[in-house]
Structures are given as structure tokens and as C-alpha cells.
Amino acid sequence: MTGMSAPTRHSAERLALLVTGAVIALLTLTIYWRVGNFEFNNFDDPDYVAQNETVQGGLTLEGIRWAFTTNPASSLSATGTQDRMGNWHPLTWLSHMLDCQLFGVNPGAHHWVSVVIHVCNSLLLLWVLYRSTNALARSAIVAALFAVHPLHVESVAWVAERKDVLSALFWILTMWAYLRYVETRSGVPYAFVLLFFALGLMSKPMVITLPFVLLLLDYWPLRRVAIRWDWLRLFREKLPLFALTVLSGIITFMMQKRAWRTRSSPTLRTLPKPSSRKTSRPFIRIRVPGRIGSFLALRCCCS
């Protein structure tokens, strides 16, 4: 684009960004097109939607109260769904209720909502990465990998995993609001950072790692670390986010503790003991969360 005037160059970059986004969206829709024909499966889907009368009732005041409370009424949770799962993700419950309000218990429609959210996530990631690095090609590669990576199939094509695509949506929106805050140093974008982060925590507690990712963004590509003492300033800047992280951790711990108490323990006690004639080796599985993986992938591309 050498020799172009600034307005012309800006228009060309915007057109390239729109075309890239359209290609990523089309590619993602092509891959997940068949999910509209899928049914509910028998693992977690009955608890979340297929056999959950509270969720099937749609968005009601009683259902909203049930979604937010850590002690749901037994009349609303006949199977003890909240207690047995040990998860506090009210926004995920509300999204399932909204689906039932709009589409009833139609599994294809529920699947398609997850696909649409995933497409939006991929396009938002493209925009956030481009805004923070000004490298369209590399941002497109990372966003495309995020969109089509096989690890996301479970999250997109499984109704019970709505919490993953929903939390990813608010994760990326938090990053976008944070970029706006860095650009303007205004209180309004920071308020949106807190809002989106809180909504992400209410979708899936895994979002608690996001403040640390924002610190990584401060180092690169935002380059807000000039001297060692900048880390302390940046950490103080994110204290409200860490406070929400601690609060979410406490709620999650309480819910998991309660779920552990309500689960039957004989299943654990009847596990067979390993034979003394066989040597067992520990299996260690290390999994990098998808959003952190996207950051690392872009960092490698631009190194």
C-alpha cells in the first residue's frame, strides 16, 4: 500500500478486514453446518435442557431466581441439578432459558445458537488482535485457528457446553474494553471491563485467569512495561478484577464443596485396587485454555 494516501490506505485496510472476517465466518459456518440436525445427547444435556423443567419454562422471575441462587428450591430442581453439578454459572442458565423461550426444546435451534456465538467470538477475536497489533495477516491466522480448531468442536456442538462459548464471548469483550481503556484512560471503558469480566465469571468460572492475560497484554503487544516498577502499577490497576476473581473462587469452592457432599460416595469406594503385579505410571495432562492459547499463538507468529 505504499504511495497511497492515508484515507485510501485506511479504506483498503478496512475492506481487507471485512473480507477476512467474512471468510472466517463462512468457513466456520461451513464446518458446523450439520449441527442443526443434531439431537440432545444423554450426557449433561438432560440436566441442562432436555429434562430440566425449570429451564424449559423459559425466562421467568422464579427461574431467574433459581439460576442465581446457590440454594435452589427443590420444587424447581427436582433432580438437584445445581447441587449435583456444583457449578455457579447463572448466565449460562439464563441463555438456555432464553433458547427455550424462543425455540422450545428444539435441539437444532439450541445448537445453532452456540454456532452463532462461536462465529461472533471468532470475529471479535480478529478485531481485538488487529486493533492491538495492527497486523492483519497474523491476526487472521490466529482467529481462523481459533474458529476451526478441533478442540472447539465439543464446546460448539454440545448444548451443555454453552458455558464455554458464552464465557469466551465475554472474555474477548473484556479484552476489547481493556484496549479501549488503555487508549483513552477513561473510567467508562474500565467500567465495561469490570462488567464484561463479571458476566464472563457468571458464564463459567474458568474466566478467573483473564486478569493475568491482561497483564501479558500489557507486556505485549501494548508495551506498557518500560521499567520493572511498572508491573506494580499495572497490578494495582487490576485489583478490582482480582477482587472479582477471589469472589468467584469462593462461590465456586462453596458450590463444589456442597456438590461433593451431596454426591453418593459408594461409587468411589468400590473402585478396584490396582494389581500389585502391575506397575502403574502417573499420567499428567497439561491443557492450555483456548484464549491463552490464542495469545501465545499470535505471539509466536509475530516474534
pLDDT of residue 34: 96
DSSP-derived secondary structure for 97-162 = HHHHHHH-S-HHHHHHHHHHHHHHHHHHHHHHHHHHH--HHHHHHHHHHHHH-GGGHHHHS-GGGH
289 pLDDT higher than 60: no
Q: Is it true that the peptide bond before 274 is cis, omega within 30 degrees of 0? A: no
Quote the percentage of the chain above a pLDDT of 70: 79
Average pLDDT over residues 121-134: 97
Task: Report residue 7's pLDDT band, with 50, 70 and 90 as the boundaries.
Answer: confident
Half-sphere exposure (Cβ direction) of 105: Cα atoms closer than 13 Å: 14
The string over 82-103, giving b where at least 16 C-beta atoms fall within 10 Å of a residue's C-beta and e elsewhere, is: bbebbbbbbbbbbbbbebbeee
Q: How far apart are CA 178 and CA 40, in angstroms?
A: 37
| Higher pLDDT, residue 281 or 196 | 196
291 pLDDT higher than 70: no
CA distances from 160 to 87, 110, 164, 205 (A): 12, 10, 9, 15
277 pLDDT higher than 60: no
Q: How far apart are CA 239 and CA 219, in angstroms?
A: 17
71 pLDDT higher than 80: no
